[in-house]
Amino acid sequence: MKWNADLYDQKHAFVFKYGEDVLEFLDVKPGEHILDLGCGTGHLTKQIQDKGAVVKGTDYSPEMIAQAKQLYPDVDFAVENAADFFTDEKYDAVFSNAALHWVLDANGAIRSVFNSLKKGGRFVAEMGGKGNVERLIEATKQVLHNHGYHEKADVKVWYFPSVGEYTTKLEEHGFRVTYVIHYDRKTALQDGEQGVAKWITMFGAQFLDGIPDDEKQQILAEITKKLEPFYNENGEWYADYKRLRFIAVKE
């Protein structure tokens, strides 16, 4: 998947704005070595560095990392696969915001994080949890099926686990989970009814790959119509976000 890093920053800044709240849970201490996993365009990585940490930001998207390096040339960034990475340097903490649900190989990610941490190091993250954008996914699949795109409808774009599912994986890999919460966080979409189409174009592009542009616009319009009763609150549109946040310690 090729990311539009400019569009991400301009229209979907809520991703890292909400992440500032997760940073409080990270509780950065000056001098700590921290990995920001799935750092996107690097805004939170920079904030971690500003708190006095020695930080590295990694992301699977070359477009995101290129933007991050341009925005924050004094921060260490690299293109890496969250599901399969190795580092000689061991970190005091690994932080991740709104990235782990893109990693379909959850075991690979958790194993890589565990191996990258010092003993006693912490894994602090927030991701999409069970039921995240459930209405949007359901509407998208229905419309794609209606248009005969059955394979597209069955594409697995994200991994949204329950508390039990993800904490079990963390424990199986040697973590002790010290905090976890699964909560509703309805999220405003910019540009009113255009917000659904822009969200899918940004984050769910795999559903639409290869579909002719005119039909793609028709499909997006139909998805929007299906979602309007649930998403439109007096002209303000909100997506049905559900987030999973946790802190786990390497024992």
Q: Residue 11's pLDDT is what?
A: 43
Is the separation of the CB atoms in 178 and 249 below 8 Å? yes
Calculated CA dihedral for residues 108, 155, 186, 130, nearest 10 degrees: -50
225-245 pLDDT tens trace? 999 999 999 999 999 999 999
Quick one: which H or E segment has residue 186?
Answer: none
For the chain, the domain total comes to: 1
Q: pTM of the entire structure? A: 0.90
Q: Is 6 left (phi over 0), alpha (psi -120 to 50) or beta?
A: alpha
The CATH number of whichever domain residue 168 belongs to comes to 3.40.50.150
Is the separation of the CB atoms in 132 and 166 below 8 Å? no
CA angle 33, 103, 122 (to 5 degrees): 30
For residues 199 and 190, what is the distance between their CA atoms, to the nearest angstrom? 9
173-228 pLDDT tens trace? 999 999 999 999 999 998 888 999 999 998 999 999 999 999 999 999 999 999 99
In single-letter form, the type of residue at position 108 comes to: G
DSSP 8-state assignment for residue 102: G
Q: Please give the C-alpha separations between residue 45 and each of 23, 96, 132, 202, 220, in angstroms, as whole numbers.
A: 10, 10, 25, 22, 34
Which residues constitute the domain of residue 96? 5-250
CB atoms within 10 A of CB 60: 19
